[in-house]
Chain A
């Protein structure tokens, strides 16, 4: 492990390409050794998704990196704007931007449309959106923790984390009917209520995670191997995080108290008084390395449990949507005119959607989507600086990248000899949902 020198405050956070090349040449002249190029990706065993990272290395040390993405670009915004889809169809399209954040994009998108069209969301529906979002945060953070353990070569911890993650996926399936792509938000409310029979199951899941959280903190944060592999690795200094506009746990691990739920709250979030979590809340001085990113994400699992608990205890009664009939909703949206912004703190950070509606047209005139990885992409440059090749996988993973989400692309691969059909998988899913409800 090599720790890079703290950045001179007068230096730019992103040095120009020419300056990097000149520094390389000076190094060669000073006898530090030649610089070689090591391309990784777009398809590489260390990467879960397609992205090309071209590293410039001197020996084992990284002196520069070039990032190229877009290998899985689906053109979802184009599909939403230019191919005559109505807003309900675009809502389901927005859900497919990201499987893991599959409630985050619809929450931001519905808010943007609701603000543009002047639609109110009933209080109960706002609470349900919050509960599903926080359940999603728990499953996403546990998913990431498992991936991080795997990248460190600690597969026992990967399996422990992913085993305990199953519980929250079961609860999401119980409440929404699906493990991902929940289709919960709809313009003016939510599609499904949380019924009295479902409350005990959610409470049981909260108790389950409360009991496990300390064990997870212990396994990740008090383990000498994890500490040795993550302390001082992939550092993002606070100034870099601020200037490069990093979001979510990537920014908070550097000590920035930056959380959309706190800074510009939305839906029912003011009721929960969310405070942005940094490593300081665990008694550490934030330095923005991979270890700090683990701290923030694990503490946020506990924070999400608090929010869900409070939401269940204070759930308002009443309607779950202001438009129970879809044709009436579509007719209203067709007449609506205006523009709006919707935002949400997804597990990886800020998601933002901009929409513009024109009266008489049932599709969108303008739609812009921003996923968190889009904002965190530039943070990789300082994080990789002066690091070792062996640390590339964990540094790449530490921002919890979602490349297809940023590219807005959906890739389905079939590499098995035995192929399950969609119908077979759907049947299995129905059987499991029935088992859960017994």
Chain B
């Protein structure tokens, strides 16, 4: 699979919802040189499932992870996907970038298209407070159920207080977790 083929399919299907893209070739190998291609594209948030469906139509699709970042006014999500594994040098890494306003941090779930995305979507619910309408399970995977904060948000007024409370709690307890004298 070539990156141009992936880009053609994305542009044909998404039209203006594909806001921008960049193709980054990587030179690898010492004695046998190869070029591995990466695509970085910005997509409107409502078009994320459509983009994932297009990629799935091109060949076996793998989601590595969704990276997330509090970008101030918005929350930035980056879907790192790989299209077309199984052949030597035949996989293209595609990163779909989308921005969610903090007033409405939602993006449709892609679990219906790619069930393997469930863990990473649930992680973003916990860590960034993003909602994924359509996700089959939304309970916590990593953090305590009653944790009142989203640790990767930079506008969490409670985060510093929470960390302070944790440190203070640990100071007062020995290594077995029982209260110290």
Contacts and interface: CB of A to CB of B under 8 A. Distances in A.
Given A258-B62, A264-B89, A273-B88, A123 B30 contact: yes
B113 to A, nearest CB: 9
Contacts of B26: 115, 266
Interface stretch (B12-20, B41-49, B79-87, B98-106): B79-87
A341 B93 contact: yes
Given A354-B78, A414-B175, A14 B65 contact: no
Interface string A124-136: 0011000000000
Contact of A269 (B29, B60, B87): B29
Interface string A118-157: 0000010011000000000000000000000000000000
Contacts of A69: 141-142
A264 B82 contact: yes
B41 to A, nearest CB: 13
Interface size grouping (class) on chain A? 35 or more
Contacts of B78: 354, 368
Interface string B32-43: 111010100000
Interface string A1-43: 0000000000011101100000000000000000000000000
Contacts of A17: 136-137
Contact of B63 (A126, A245, A262): A245
A324 interface: no
Nearest to B63: A245
B34 A366 contact: no
Given A78-B152, A256-B85, A264 B93 contact: yes
Contacts of B140: 68, 70
Interface stretch (A160-168, A372-380, A384-392): A372-380
B28 A266 contact: yes
A73 interface: yes
A123 B137 CA distance: 46
B33 A270 contact: yes
A53 interface: no
A123 to B, nearest CB: 4
Contact of B141 (A70, A126, A246, A275): A70
Interface string B59-74: 0101111011100000
Contact of B65 (A268, A374, A407): A374
B2 to A, nearest CB: 13
Nearest to B152: A78
B88 A14 contact: no
A196 B112 CA distance: 55
A69 B151 CA distance: 17
B34 A270 contact: yes
Nearest to A370: B65
B94 to A, nearest CB: 11
A65 interface: no
Contacts of A375: 64, 116, 119
B115 A12 contact: yes
Contacts of A268: 28-31
A273 B175 CA distance: 49
B114 interface: yes
A354 B143 CA distance: 21
A129 B68 CA distance: 29
A378 B85 contact: no
A368 B68 contact: yes
A258 B60 CA distance: 10
A201 interface: no
Contacts of A365: 69
Interface of B: 26, 28-34, 36, 38, 60, 62-65, 67-69, 78, 80, 82, 84-93, 95, 114-120, 136-137, 140-144, 151-152, 175
23 contacts: A70-B140, A70-B144, A73-B142, A77-B152, A78-B151, A244-B115, A257-B85, A258-B85, A262-B87, A263-B87, A263-B90, A264-B89, A265-B29, A267-B28, A269-B29, A270-B28, A270-B34, A314-B31, A341-B38, A341-B80, A368-B65, A370-B64, A377-B119
Interface of A: 12-14, 16-17, 68-70, 73, 75, 77-78, 115, 123, 126-127, 242-247, 256-258, 262-271, 273, 275-276, 314, 316, 341, 343, 350, 352, 354, 356, 365-366, 368, 370, 374-375, 377-378, 407, 414
User: Ordered nearest first, which 8 A-B pairs have the shortest CB separation?
Assistant: A245-B116, A270-B29, A70-B142, A263-B91, A368-B67, A370-B65, A123-B30, A270-B34
